[in-house]
Structure 1
Amino acid sequence: MIKQITRAVFKSYYKSVEKFIDHPVATQEKIFSYLLEHGRNTLYGAENQFGDILTVSDFQKKVPVTSYEDLRPYLDKIIRDRQQNVLWDSPVKWFAMSSGTTEDKSKYIPVTQESLEHCHYRCGYHMLGLYTNNYPDTEFFLGKTLVLGGSQQINNIGDSTFTGDISAILMKNLPFIAKLARTPEEIALLPDWEEKLKKLSDYAVKEDIRAFLGVPSWMMVLLKKIVEDTGKPLPDLWKNLEVFFHGGVSFGPFREQYEKLIPTKKMRYWETYNASEGFFGVQYSSKSNDMLLLLDNEVFYEFLPAEECDKECSQALTLADVEIGKQYALVISTSGGLWRYKIGDTIEFTSTNPYLFRITGRTKQFINAFGEELIVDNADRALTEACRITGAKVTEYTVAPIYFSDNHGGAHEWLIEFEDKPSDLKQFESVLDENLKKLNSDYEAKRSYNLSLGKPVVRMLEPGDFYKWMKFREKTGGQNKVPKLSNDRKYVESILSVLGIKS
Structure 2
Amino acid sequence: MNLLSSIISKLARNRFWRVQNWSNHPVAAQRQVLQDLVSAGQYTELGRKYHFEKLFTLKEFKKHVPIHEYDDIKNYINRMMEGGENILWNTPVKWFAQSSGTTSDKSKFIPISDESLTDNHFKASKDVLTNYYNNFPDSNMLTGKSLVVGGSHQLSKVNDEIQFGDLSAVLMQNSPFWGQWLRTPELSVALLDEWENKIEQLAQTTADENVTSLAGVPTWTLILLKRILKIKNKQTIKEVWPNLELYINGGVSFVPYKEQFDKIIGAKINYLEIYNASEGFIAGQVKPDDDGLLLFTEHGIFYEFMPVEEYGKDKPQTVGLKNVVLHKNYALVISTTGGLWRYLIGDTVIFTSINPYKIKVSGRLKHYMNAFGEEVIVDNTDKAIAAACEKTNALVSDYTAAPVFFSDNNNGAHEWLIEFEKEPDNITAFIYELDNALKDVNSDYEAKRHKDIALRLPIVHVLPKDSFNEWLKSKGKLGGQHKVPRLSNERKMLEEILKMNF
Partner of 1:177: 178
Quote how far apart the aligned CAs of 1:157 are: 2.9
1:350-389 maps to which residues of 2 (within 5 A)? 350-365=352-367
Partner of 1:264: 267
1:475 aligns with 2:447: yes
Mapped partners of 2:25, 2:16: distance in 1 = 15
Quote how far apart the aligned CAs of 1:39 are: 0.6
Alignment check: 8 A CA contact 2:368 2:488 kept? no
* The 10-residue stretch of structure 1 (113-122 or 136-145) with the greater mean CA deviation from structure 2: 136-145
1:48-67 maps to which residues of 2 (within 5 A)? 48-67=50-69
Alignment check: 8 A CA contact 1:154 1:163 kept? yes
Partner of 2:25: 23
Mapped partners of 1:315, 1:215: distance in 2 = 34
Out of 232, 249, 254, which is 1:251 matched to?
254
1:199 aligns with 2:201: yes
| Secondary structure in 1 matching 2:262 | helix
Cα displacement string for residues 192-226 of structure 1 (whole angstroms, at most 9, x for unaligned residues): 11111111000111111111011111111111111
Quote how far apart the aligned CAs of 1:321 are: 0.9
Quote how far apart the aligned CAs of 1:129 are: 0.9
Q: Structure 2 vs 1, CA of residues 238 and 29 (structure 1 numbering), >3 Å: closer, same or farther? A: same
Mapped partners of 1:245, 1:37: distance in 2 = 35
Q: Structure 2 vs 1, CA of residues 156 and 177 (structure 1 numbering), >3 Å: closer, same or farther? A: closer
Mapped partners of 1:324, 1:481: distance in 2 = 36
Mapped partners of 1:162, 1:64: distance in 2 = 29
Mapped partners of 1:30, 1:39: distance in 2 = 14
Mapped partners of 2:445, 2:117: distance in 1 = 30
Quote how far apart the aligned CAs of 1:253 are: 0.8
1:117-132 maps to which residues of 2 (within 5 A)? 117-132=118-133
Partner of 2:404: 416
Partner of 2:462: none
Q: Structure 2 vs 1, CA of residues 362 and 100 (structure 1 numbering), >3 Å: closer, same or farther? A: farther
Q: TM-score, normalised by structure 2?
A: 0.75
Q: Structure 2 vs 1, CA of residues 172 and 472 (structure 1 numbering), >3 Å: closer, same or farther? A: closer
Q: TM-score, normalised by structure 1?
A: 0.75
Out of 331, 334, 337, which is 1:332 matched to?
334
Q: Structure 2 vs 1, CA of residues 241 and 261 (structure 1 numbering), >3 Å: closer, same or farther? A: same
* The 10-residue stretch of structure 1 (8-17 or 96-105) with the greater mean CA deviation from structure 2: 96-105
Mapped partners of 1:155, 1:128: distance in 2 = 30
Partner of 2:92: 91
Cα displacement string for residues 55-112 of structure 1 (whole angstroms, at most 9, x for unaligned residues): 11111111110011111111122123x2210001000110111116988711111000
Alignment check: 8 A CA contact 1:101 1:481 kept? no
| Secondary structure in 2 matching 1:21 | helix
State the Cα RMSD in Å.
Answer: 3.6
| Secondary structure in 2 matching 1:41 | coil
Out of 287, 294, 303, which is 1:292 matched to?
294
| Secondary structure in 2 matching 1:92 | coil
Partner of 1:44: 46
Mapped partners of 1:197, 1:322: distance in 2 = 43
Mapped partners of 1:411, 1:90: distance in 2 = 47
Alignment check: 8 A CA contact 2:367 2:485 kept? yes
* The 10-residue stretch of structure 1 (25-34 or 8-17) with the greater mean CA deviation from structure 2: 8-17
Quote how far apart the aligned CAs of 1:283 are: 0.2
The total of aligned residue pairs comes to: 415
Mapped partners of 1:185, 1:420: distance in 2 = 30
Partner of 2:212: 210
Mapped partners of 1:60, 1:395: distance in 2 = 32
Task: Give the unaligned 5+ runs of structure 1.
Answer: 368-375, 381-393, 422-465, 492-503
Cα displacement string for residues 412-436 of structure 1 (whole angstroms, at most 9, x for unaligned residues): 5545245169xxxxxxxxxxxxxxx
Q: Structure 2 vs 1, CA of residues 284 and 214 (structure 1 numbering), >3 Å: closer, same or farther? A: same
Mapped partners of 1:42, 1:260: distance in 2 = 52
Mapped partners of 1:477, 1:158: distance in 2 = 29
| Secondary structure in 1 matching 2:247 | strand
Quote how far apart the aligned CAs of 1:287 are: 2.9
Alignment check: 8 A CA contact 1:211 1:242 kept? yes
Partner of 2:431: none
| Secondary structure in 1 matching 2:28 | helix
Amino acid at match of 2:225: L
Mapped partners of 1:4, 1:181: distance in 2 = 12
Cα displacement string for residues 14-60 of structure 1 (whole angstroms, at most 9, x for unaligned residues): 22110111211111000000000011000001111212211111111
Percent of aligned positions with the same letter in both sequences? 38
Alignment check: 8 A CA contact 1:397 1:414 kept? no
Alignment check: 8 A CA contact 2:96 2:164 kept? yes
Alignment check: 8 A CA contact 2:112 2:338 kept? yes
Quote how far apart the aligned CAs of 1:230 are: 2.4
Partner of 1:236: 239
Alignment check: 8 A CA contact 1:291 1:357 kept? yes
Mapped partners of 1:199, 1:413: distance in 2 = 34
Mapped partners of 2:306, 2:139: distance in 1 = 38
| Secondary structure in 2 matching 1:284 | coil
Cα displacement string for residues 344-400 of structure 1 (whole angstroms, at most 9, x for unaligned residues): 111100111100111111112359xxxxxxxx8xxx9xxxxxxxxxxxxx9999999
Quote how far apart the aligned CAs of 1:139 are: 0.9
| Secondary structure in 2 matching 1:285 | coil
Mapped partners of 1:262, 1:100: distance in 2 = 35
Cα displacement string for residues 126-174 of structure 1 (whole angstroms, at most 9, x for unaligned residues): 1101111111111111011111112565544322111111111111111
Q: Structure 2 vs 1, CA of residues 236 and 330 (structure 1 numbering), >3 Å: closer, same or farther? A: same
Partner of 1:424: none
Mapped partners of 1:419, 1:101: distance in 2 = 31
Task: Give the unaligned 5+ runs of structure 2.
Answer: 386-395, 410-434, 459-483, 490-502
Alignment check: 8 A CA contact 1:154 1:161 kept? no
